[in-house]
Amino acid sequence: MAEPALVRAAPSAPVVTEPAEQGAPVPAVSAPAPAALREIERQAAPEGESRPPRVVRQVVPSYPPMARSQGVKGTVVVQVTVGLDGSVEGVEVVKTPSPLLNQAAQEAARKMKFEPALSNGEPVRARLSVPFNFGLK
């Protein structure tokens, strides 16, 4: 399949506005509903836009009591699969200082929320690494 050609649009003519006549009715303006805003944003996205998932809700994991009592600390890195709607579809531990921290990191990752990744302006599933730091004070 051939690559689509890049077409540059000619600059548009300047828009000239004139003041409304004295006493002329002014149209009412209201904000669109959130669903309409998302549709407007989707339509306004540049064709071919691609970006990774964006974090909407970050979750801090709880420190497992056994890990705390044993002085276990470090960073657990999980690989998260983000679905078309931004929900977490899968979580896998890829790096850990101790298995005692894994469940807390996985539970926190499952509670996160994302804006989905985009490819050519359309939502796509994507995977990304998310680090969770466990430290003792």
Give the domains, in start order, of the chain with CATH numbers. 50-57+67-134 (3.30.2420.10)
* pLDDT tens figures, 56-76: 999 999 999 999 999 999 999
Q: Minimal CA–CA distance to 41: which of 113, 123, 114?
A: 123
Give dist(CA 127, CA 116) in Å, integer: 10
* pLDDT tens figures, 11-37: 333 322 233 334 433 322 223 344 444
- Across the chain, mean pLDDT equals 75
